[in-house]
Amino acid sequence: MDKKIMLVDDAAFMRMTIKNCLTKAGYTNLIEAGDGQVAVDTYQNEHPDLVIMDITMPNMDGIQALQAIKAADPSAKVVMCSAMGQEAMVVEAIHLGALDFIVKPFKPDRILQTVTKILG
């Protein structure tokens, strides 16, 4: 599939987990960022169709990165990832324009369901 998806998480293992799930489903145009600042910069250059982003990261967290991406591109499609117990941050992310959230640990079916719902 030619949809470009950016995976943002400071944990390489988490990015790999999502990448493997998406690759098996036929998504091959995947780019990665290790923190929120890199995500914002990469978004400006790559203009991905979807961003899947962790909330808790160093340098710039997912909430700040979401705000910066949405400020630059109000039509940006962003899905947040969170661990259990981050409900307040998830609610804030939804208010700031995130389309959905995925709870860690990831379930492949949930990732694919969310991506399919947003990208068609």
Q: What is the pLDDT of residues 14-39, one digit of tens each?
A: 999 999 999 999 999 999 999 999 99
Cα(101)–Cα(29) distance, integer angstroms: 21
pTM of the model: 0.94
For the sheet containing 30-33, what is the strand order? 30-33, 5-8, 50-54, 78-82, 100-103
Pair of tokens at residue 69: 């991406």
- Give the model confidence (pLDDT) of 49-107 as tens digits: 999 999 999 999 999 999 999 999 999 999 999 887 777 888 899 999 999 999 888 88
Which position has the token pair 């369901």? 113
